[in-house]
Amino acid sequence: MIDHRRLGRELELFVSDPLAGAGLPIWLPAGAAARHAVEEYVRDLERRAGYRHVYSPPLGKRELFELSGHLGYFADDMFPPMRLSADDEFVLRPALCPHHALVFRARGRSYRELPLRIAELGGMYRAERSGVLGGLSRVRAISLNDAHNFCALEQVGDEVREILRLIREAHAALGVRPAGFRLSLRGPGEKYVGDDAQWARAEELLRAALDGVDYQEAPGEAAFYGPKIDIQIVDAAGRESTISTIQLDFDKPERFDLSYTAADGSRQRPVMVHRSLVGSMERLFAYLIEVHAGAFPAWYAPVQLVLLPVDDGQAEVAVDLARQAEAAGLRVDVDLAGSLGARIRDAARRRIPYVGVVGSREAAAGLVSLRLRNGRGLDPMPVADALGLIGAVVAARSPDLLPAG
């Protein structure tokens, strides 16, 4: 069975060191390069969809998390507060919402600004018990692709439809294959905040947004603060977990007394939509490592091209070619040591999408012979053509190794 922990070690993507602590993995250069490419992509996707990115600290005063309700409902999953002095206690945050509520509240808001989409790829912490931790799939330090969309209730339908579109686009680019969509609704009981009419309208809007999507309803599975849509994945061991989520929240706008000025001049409470397109970087990569068996699409492969001179005579040409590839924006290595066969096998072991072999004939003519990760070899071609071919596949975020057409 494919296990992301074993592949993570073999491909030097991340390391878990007991001295650093269980559930606190360290991303090594190869894993960090892949994650960086994915983060850049997600931020760009969000920016083009009208999101505004912020930075907020991963810890805050105790009072902030009392106000948000996290210390009331969620304290068991949080690290204990850190006391600096009698009246100064800090908490490692278990979620980004409190800080984003403060972003909304930073000044007066008008209906013209809604939906206001505040995004951050930010750190948060969960005090998971050590027995449940493993690799990247369950961690204590979480880097979440998060956003909070503040909108009027009547905007929720369009907003959720647009979020679902972004989720599908991100899944397609990354190679995520969702196992199912779940709509979690209110059940019987009194634990829910917000009034009946609000809930009924919100559930109706979510159903409408899911029109044409194959989904299951889960009555009683909603959070106490609102209904939600979860998109599930299944890992190589058959365990199901949530990768993408859209949660309506009637509670936090109340707690933080958030309001905007409506067209008629009245003060109105926004709805807060918590949403994550791809979940946490940790869980996402645990999944991507397994689903691709370590062979990521070229656009986020840690090294996209390795150059192999056949012998020392072409080393200089290979190094020069690597500089050109770097200047073209590619992640590239040159491998000089050992027999050509051993170096080709090592490139395959590292799942590098493109191997560029430079022999004496290629070097003399300004050519390179590309071998694809799937074993296919291409005829020698001019260096510019080879870089153009790889660049086109990367720019298209294609799952294939050759440009379309």
Choice between 101 and 325, CB closer to Zn ion: 101
Nearest approach, Cβ of residue 364 and Zn ion (Å): 60
Task: Return the HEC string of the chain.
Answer: CCCHHHHHHHCCCEECCCCCCCCCCEECHHHHHHHHHHHHHHHHHHHHCCCEECCCCCEEEHHHHHHCCHHHHCHHHCCCCEEEECCEEEEECCCCHHHHHHHHCCCCCEHHHCCEEEEEEEEEECCCCHHHCECCCECCEEEEEEEEEEECHHHHHHHHHHHHHHHHHHHHHHCCCCCEEEEEECCCCCCCCCCHHHHHHHHHHHHHHCCCCCEEEEECCCECCECEEEEEEECCCCCEEEEEEEEEECCHHHHCCCCEECCCCCEECCEEEEEECCCEHHHHHHHHHHHCCCCCCHHHCCCCEEEEECCHHHHHHHHHHHHHHHHCCCCEEECCCCCHHHHHHHHHHCCCCEEEEECHHHHHHCEEEEEECCCCECCCEEHHHHHHHHHHHHHCCCCCCCCCC
Contact status, residue 25 vs residue 14, Cβ threshold 8 Å: yes
Contacting range for Zn ion; rule: CB under 5 A; set: 31-39, 96-104, 260-268, 285-293: 96-104
- Give the x-and-dash track for 50-89 against Zn ion (CB under 5 A): ----------------------------------------
Nearest approach, Cβ of residue 284 and Zn ion (Å): 17
Choice between 147 and 318, CB closer to Zn ion: 147
Choice between 98 and 356, CB closer to Zn ion: 98
- Cα separation of 337 and 316, whole Å? 14
Choice between 274 and 292, CB closer to Zn ion: 274
Nearest approach, Cβ of residue 148 and Zn ion (Å): 6
Choice between 30 and 118, CB closer to Zn ion: 118
CA 158 → CA 185, 210, 230, distances in Å?
A: 19, 11, 17
Nearest approach, Cβ of residue 269 and Zn ion (Å): 17
Nearest approach, Cβ of residue 187 and Zn ion (Å): 22
Contact status, residue 335 vs residue 344, Cβ threshold 8 Å: no
Choice between 125 and 299, CB closer to Zn ion: 125
Contacting range for Zn ion; rule: CB under 5 A; set: 102-110, 127-135, 221-229, 267-275: 267-275
Nearest approach, Cβ of residue 95 and Zn ion (Å): 5
Nearest approach, Cβ of residue 77 and Zn ion (Å): 14
Contacting range for Zn ion; rule: CB under 5 A; set: 91-99, 137-145, 202-210, 319-327: 91-99
Choice between 46 and 235, CB closer to Zn ion: 46
All residues at 6 or more sequence positions from 274 whose CB lies less than 8 Å from its CB, including other chains: 97, 146, 147, 148, 245, 246, 247, 249
Choice between 97 and 387, CB closer to Zn ion: 97
Contacting range for Zn ion; rule: CB under 5 A; set: 258-266, 270-278, 290-298, 315-323: 270-278
Nearest approach, Cβ of residue 241 and Zn ion (Å): 18
Contacting range for Zn ion; rule: CB under 5 A; set: 97-105, 111-119, 123-131, 284-292: 97-105
Contacting range for Zn ion; rule: CB under 5 A; set: 8-16, 22-30, 111-119, 271-279: 271-279
Site for Zn ion in 325-364 (CB under 5 A): none
Nearest approach, Cβ of residue 302 and Zn ion (Å): 31
Nearest approach, Cβ of residue 389 and Zn ion (Å): 42
Contacting range for Zn ion; rule: CB under 5 A; set: 55-63, 131-139, 272-280, 363-371: 272-280
Among 182, 186, 274, 351, binds Zn ion (CB under 5 A): 274
97 touches Zn ion by CB under 5 A: yes
Contacting range for Zn ion; rule: CB under 5 A; set: 70-78, 90-98, 372-380, 388-396: 90-98
Choice between 186 and 274, CB closer to Zn ion: 274
Which residue type sits at 311?
D
All residues at 6 or more sequence positions from 30 whose CB lies less than 8 Å from its CB, including other chains: 11, 12, 13, 302, 303
Size of site (CB under 5 A) for Zn ion: 2
275 touches Zn ion by CB under 5 A: no
- The residues that touch Zn ion, with contacts defined as CB under 5 A, are 97, 274
